Amino acid sequence: MQDAKQHGSRWPRGPFPLKYAWAAVEARLAAEPPIAESLAGLGLALGEGHDDEPYYAVAAGPGAVDLPALRARVAGRRISVFRWAPDPERVVLVASPDPMDAVVAVGVAGPHQGVGNRAVVRFLVHLRAFARIDLDTLGEAALSLSCVPEGPEAAERIAERALQLCPALASVGVGGLASALSTSGRLDLAWPA
């Protein structure tokens, strides 16, 4: 993957990565055992309202779920685990080690703001050229991640693009978001209905 210095001050362009088109992701996920089977031995139970999803499971434990501990327990298995937005007491599991497959499977988007899943995926794929990222929360209309920019210019590019993708951040502005990224290393995107 190219780094931010090679891109200069512009956000990368190019075709959508076909690896993350729905048909390709669905084929990978369909080849895995049903995700509900992955809950066995984890002390989790399927959550109501998403028990008919074929490629991801929303689950809860008897208490608060310790995400780092749960991720350690599933390490080596072909599973990605994230906190579920809007309920961080629950988690979402996807039968793929690739977090982008999870973003596609859940369908993270902001349809009321004209932001589709492909735009979110494209943003995240290109974001890796500007920062170290680790998705920790996702839902149908939100995602949160640790996002450590490579430097001040990268933070500004990320902020500019994030504001285009997520209009709800407009009140923060490019400078405020770039500063927050540089100090907190967090990026929270949400598309309210």
44 neighbors 74 (Cβ within 8 angstroms):
no
C-alpha angle with apex 61: 70 to 41, nearest 5 degrees?
60
For 112-150, the pLDDT digits (tens) are 999 999 999 999 999 999 999 999 999 999 999 999 999
**Locus of tokens 């902001």:** 110
CA dihedral sign, ordered 138, 139, 141, 142: negative
pTM given for the model: 0.91
Q: What is the pLDDT of residue 9?
A: 56
- For the chain, strand residue ranges (E) read 45-46, 56-60, 80-84, 90-94, 131-139, 142-149, 186-190
Angle between helices 173-184 and 152-165 (to 10 degrees): 120
CA within 13 Å, CB half, 94: 25
For 15-24, the pLDDT digits (tens) are 899 999 999 9
